Structure 1
């Protein structure tokens, strides 16, 4: 009897809701019809999430071939517009730059970005402008980057010494992916906190602290998928916390916050130092109401997430391309030998004398942008793009990967040809590995310096060959930063210049 009563009640409730919905739809004033970008057929509730196959940039490129360079998808309850043409991108970041300067509010950014208050995740406004000003003056200014040149130089030398351990007499096989990751993390952490957390078992002062940091960063990158998590767009999945995503994010955020707070507290007890934390703490004394510990932790977090994985991935793609194009590698080495000499190790200030090396880096950024869909934007108001209506609170994704390979923009678009940047064939405005507009990456200068110094040094100091006769596998893996699917292994042999380097003293920190 109880079961019959329960089922009857539920049936009446469903019917009542259905009648109310029908009555509401029939009597409400019709909203003006919007001219939305074209879209494929969708499913109830999930929309087009079933089409979001990884890697997303390739999936979106395929859809753009059918629906045009501006099309829309429904990710659950959220409208997403994807643009894949230079003209549409230009319209986004000129006429609509302010309207599209917001970031989407996601579970990931809520928990891992201090409730959307970091420079990467915060909405466009006074708070973001202050963070951007701080980063431009105190972190990424030319003067500040020059101050930390010694760290980049030292970490690159450590990498070269590690590579040379077994390669003086003959070629030896090395796995470069992990080495590039260690290089970029040590550079950033030394700039931020004066510590090394990666070191081949040497020159790491606190092994347990280093292990904890490495584990935290690994978890951060695994869980920072953001726009690729279905829970972000389907309320029901959020309510039931499908896959325990929110619980996992909350625990990770708590542990990372405690770790970063420990770094800050340590520096508060030691006022002598030239790290970024020291500098930010000195500003905290004069403006304690703004330079709070949370603001400082947010700035550190953005540097760690934005300045490490991206540069390491760019180095791995660059070396992979050079191994598959030995003639380009040979030409780059000849430029280094001619401009720098075979006795002097190249340095950052030498980059203007190495246009071909710069072209190799630009071509790597073009074919293999570390953020193929850039960082998602969000419209703060209604706007139009390419004649289509884009409503408020629409997520915008820019398929930089597709634009970088557009045959209408680039000659022989899918080929690795650094010469295009020397011969004036390329439009540099269509190269956007660091984003465009107000929310473009402020760390572009640091990334270019790190990649330039490391790549030039690797070419100058070693002979390089593929492990076998087959070309290096250039398959893209899954992730927001487009890693290689197969970690890069190569054969290297030290050149005579390494004898000079090995005799130099390294200022260990």
Structure 2
């Protein structure tokens, strides 16, 4: 009993508890050490708090990541703040993400900007996988991109191109034309008329212009600092005004979409079946009489309209600008392409949609444009939902995969020493799988991956059929400015201006 006199019972109890705790802790550590640590992909040395963010300073993201991949390999781990990204820079690794493990990488990372602008992830492009998203994609494909709208789309495309050709033809001779503006008017006219009808509101009633509205939305969809820096980033987003800018952007976008819906509600009783557009179809699917089995809410309708506004125009527009820029830079390509177009249309006074199917070189030119100038250079991030391996490396759930479509399309190991050159003839014998991924792949691929190239082909064919084009101001063709800018969508920094000369068919 003396021991209890020297050491009170409470002290013995405390000692026993500590002994048991440290025994448990030792056992836990020993067990953990016996488990093989995950084999993570190589990554550049990171700094506290910011991770690898300093590696992107002063460089476009896709170019900086492509340079790093040459040092660290085609599967690289990269941290922005506390957020891990898996950087994919080869066709084989892209195939593993977009095909082999597509079911694991079919989610999207959460983002405050995306959540707000998509009405709490109700859209198609940015929402996580769900039965709701699958239904929404089916509706977009059947009601906007499917056979129901194909005839209308082709009719409007022909009409808008005729308007564009007349505009160019009435331009003063030897004066450069801003093709960015012409392409925007043409693509916007087609997409918005198919989606919203011939009487769509070309500009919002209040707030910024349509063009500024869409540009701001794309910027906000790119996310804020709070997405990668949960504490400090959210504070910076608040004090810097980013949160206010997001709210203003949403308010303006929502008001424009609301006006489109109101216009259609007021006229829905008067339009015939042939006159009904995409929004009419969505409103019918949201009515009590809907028999499809999936009734849309008003927010569902708005989210689908938002997808059309942010994804239906800009990517086709930038591809047209890059295509004409590359054609203008290469006299050889321009002459060869122009010969093909004019030879296939010599019997008719205009380019017919059916003629395009015979123009093999035109298709190669558009493919080469998409290879060098993927509209979204890093695609939209794919988020890993469960543990898997890519290239023999472990990928932890919650890691976002960035597919460097820009870099994959320029990889010399795939495309040869002339990978950086615009050389359409490479597609005469090259069968593409994942060697170029401008539209992504798998279940998150772009729904318009067939329609967009066809639109570009038809516009380019008409421009080169009716006009000869030269670079202005005595600049050599090969010296045309090709600087890039943009994050989510890659634009040509300097607007494309070319001098047209109407082709004389009597010669």
For Structure 1 versus Structure 2, the TM-score category normalised by the shorter chain is 0.7 to 0.9
In the alignment, is the contact (CA less than 8 A) between 2:379 and 2:440 conserved in 1?
Answer: yes
* Residue 180 (structure 2) aligns with: 177
TM-score normalised by L of structure 1? 0.86
Deviation at 1:115, TM superposition (A): 1.5
Asked if the contact 1:173/1:492 (under 8 Å) is kept, the reply is: yes
Counterpart-to-counterpart distance in 2, 1:242 and 1:384? 40
More deviation in 249-258 or 70-79?
249-258
| Deviation string, structure 1 residues 399-425 (Cα, Å, up to 9, x no partner) | 011111111211321111111112x13
Q: Secondary structure at the match of 2:491?
A: coil
**Do residues 492 (structure 1) and 494 (structure 2) align?**
no
CA contact (8 A) 1:343 1:497 kept: no
Partner Cα separation in structure 2 for residue 214 and residue 482 of structure 1: 16
Match of 1:237 among 233, 237, 241: 233
**Equivalent in the alignment of 1:315:** 320
Deviation at 1:242, TM superposition (A): 4.6
> With structure 2 as the length reference, what TM-score do the two structures score?
0.86
Larger-gyration structure (1/2): 2
**Does the aligned pair in 2 maintain the 1:369–1:400 contact within 8 Å?**
yes
Which one of the candidate residues 32, 36, 43 is aligned to 1:39? 43
CA offset at residue 313 of structure 1? 0.7
Q: Which secondary structure does the structure 2 equivalent of 1:408 belong to?
A: helix
In structure 1, the partner of 2:193 is 190
* 2:220 matches 1:223: yes
CA distance in 2, matches of 1:184, 1:239: 39
The residue matched to 2:325 in structure 1 has which SS? helix
Please state whether the residue corresponding to 2:49 is helix, strand or coil. Answer: coil
- Tell me, yes or no, if the aligned pair for 2:52 and 2:78 is still in contact at 8 Å: yes
| Alignment match, 1:284 | 286
**How do 1:64-103 residues align onto structure 2 when only pairs under 5 Å count?**
64-103=69-108
Contact 1:72/1:82 (<8 A) preserved: yes
Report SS of the residue matched to 1:132. helix
Contact 2:144 2:195 (8 Å CA) reproduced: no
Distance 2:337 2:356 in 1: 12
Matches within 5 A, 1:51-450: 51-53=55-57, 54-167=59-172, 170-195=173-198, 208=205, 212-226=209-223, 229-235=224-230, 236-240=232-236, 241-271=238-268, 272=271, 273-285=275-287, 286-287=289-290, 290-341=295-346, 343-411=348-416, 412-422=418-428, 424-450=429-455
**Deviations 1:252-283 (Å, cap 9, x if unpaired)?**
11221122122112111211132110112222
Cα deviation, residue 182, structure 1 = 2.1
Separation in 2 of the partners of 1:485 and 1:134?
35
Which deviates the most, 432-441 or 449-458?
A: 449-458
Using the alignment, how far apart are the partners of 1:438 and 1:417 within structure 2?
31
Superposition CA RMSD, Å: 2.4
Structure 1 unaligned residues grouped into runs of 5+: 1-23, 199-203, 499-509
More off after superposition, 41-50 vs 24-33: 24-33
Return the alpha-carbon distance in structure 1 between the equivalents of residues 351 and 155 of structure 2. Answer: 13
Which secondary structure does the structure 2 equivalent of 1:409 belong to?
helix
Alpha carbons 2:219, 2:488 under 8 Å: kept: no
Closer/same/farther in 2, CA of residues 186 and 99 from structure 1, 3 Å limit: same
Q: Is the 8 A contact 1:461 1:497 kept in 2?
A: no
- Partner residue of 1:469? 475
> Residue 107 of structure 1 contacts residue 246 of structure 1 at CA under 8 Å; is this kept in 2?
no
- Contact map agreement 1:261 1:293 (CA 8 A) in 2: no
1:483 aligns with 2:487: no
Report SS of the residue matched to 2:493.
coil
> How far does residue 244 in structure 1 lie from its aligned partner after superposition?
1.9
- Post-superposition shift, 1:25? 10
